Structure 1
């Protein structure tokens, strides 16, 4: 006899399941099946997830496209850092990049017009959280996310980095205007 191994009659799987325990196992299994079906339904019919396209890109390529958009559509600058505010025409490709510790540029979009919003991070992982719309995307260097957006309410929206990106993370906020 060994002190390390338990006696054969103490193995849990060799004992019969009590009726109450079996009932709870059946309830738990049924609940798991219900949640699995509901998650599938939320994904397909609930419009809970963003439909994004993702492409490989280099920071230099993305910065070149973003700079061309800024040069063409800048209407003013804001903040101490003189971040440009761009107002691209409806239906155009709009570029927004995240880098230590800001979003660049500030976007000014038109209500009820559709845009293709291109997002990426230049240096580290960043988060794109659009509040109060509660849109969250993790931005990873080397990948370009494309989201088709149609703003349906005018106002000023907050952009927040929700992925810790270093000592200046708490200052990584911006805004998006919808006119």
Structure 2
């Protein structure tokens, strides 16, 4: 049979399947099943996928809770915009706001301590990408995303918006400090 000429029988699915095609179909099916069952396995036993809680939230209430945290735990300010750096105690709830085109405030956490990170967007859809750890969360306005985190290495991490949010999207980066 030629690819240029039409098949002799117009009902192609009644043609016999070649042995080589059956082998490739079988390999592809087996690989799909392996990947299908590995996804829940990685989620439960891999310890690498987040299971965020998500709640409806009014922006003004979330902003008030974030401001209370900033008023209580600010240790210094950074950047030309005087963004506060907050160092909340271990085990506390910490809040991070995404808005055009910044994250607020900057967080300073302690190594090997557990925190509940609350995220929301005030205006448009944004992304939360913690690099180089490759933790990614899609942040939507009107929803509070809660993630339990436990930093296990000290250093300075980058938080980047990975959802296109407009003309200033490329400037939407901040830092996260993890101290010993």
Measure, in 2, the Cα distance between the counterparts of 1:142 and 1:54: 10
Alignment of 1:22-33 (within 5 A): 22-33=22-33
Alignment of 1:115-154 (within 5 A): 115-154=115-154
The aligned length equals: 174
Measure, in 2, the Cα distance between the counterparts of 1:155 and 1:105: 18
Q: Specify the alignment match of 1:96 in structure 2.
A: 96
Measure, in 2, the Cα distance between the counterparts of 1:53 and 1:167: 30
SS at match of 1:148: strand
Q: 1:140, CA displacement in angstroms?
A: 0.4
Alignment of 1:71-110 (within 5 A): 71-110=71-110
SS at match of 1:35: helix
Q: 1:8, CA displacement in angstroms?
A: 9.2
- Cα RMSD for the two superposed structures: 1.6
Q: 4+ runs of 1 displaced by more than 3 Å?
A: none
Measure, in 2, the Cα distance between the counterparts of 1:64 and 1:27: 55
- Does 2:161 correspond to 1:161? yes
Measure, in 1, the Cα distance between the counterparts of 2:46 and 2:125: 28
Structure 1 gaps, min length 5: 1-5
Deviations for 1:69-124, whole angstroms, at most 9, x for unmatched residues?
11111111111111111111111110001000000001111111111110111100
Please give the TM-score of this superposition, normalised by the length of structure 1.
0.92
Deviations for 1:112-140, whole angstroms, at most 9, x for unmatched residues?
11111101111001111111111111100
Measure, in 2, the Cα distance between the counterparts of 1:31 and 1:114: 37
